[in-house]
Amino acid sequence: MIIREYKCGCKITSTKNYPSIEYCPKHKAAPDIYEALKEAENYFVSMKAHIPSHGNTLGMVQKALAKAEEKEEDEILMPYSSSIERKE
Ligand SMILES: [Zn+2]
């Protein structure tokens, strides 16, 4: 039986009183997305001297990774920290 269903499609179900999570496709792919993003970060960092205009993309990648790693913003190594918008 479905205990809770999220907007994304993830479901918390229960079978014989054992709860389990059925992930939606996006959240099922999260570990792969995370690994791909780590690779993208390395790529952008290695290319930053050649393509300076991608600074915001790198910032977004690093922000997303930091969120996944539960890091505080000041723990993030940001070669382009000046290009990252801070909305507080
Ligand atoms: Zn989901």
Per-domain residue ranges of the chain? 25-88
pLDDT tens string 4-63: 999 999 999 999 989 999 999 999 999 999 999 999 999 988 987 787 665 688 889 999
The 8-class DSSP code of residue 84 comes to S
pLDDT at 38: 97
Tell me, what amino acid is at 23? Y
Tokens of 81: 């920290």
CA atoms within 13 A on the CB side of 82: 2
Q: How far is the CA of 79 from the centre of ligand 1 (A)?
A: 32
pLDDT at 77: 57
Q: How far is the CA of 68 from the centre of ligand 1 (A)?
A: 15
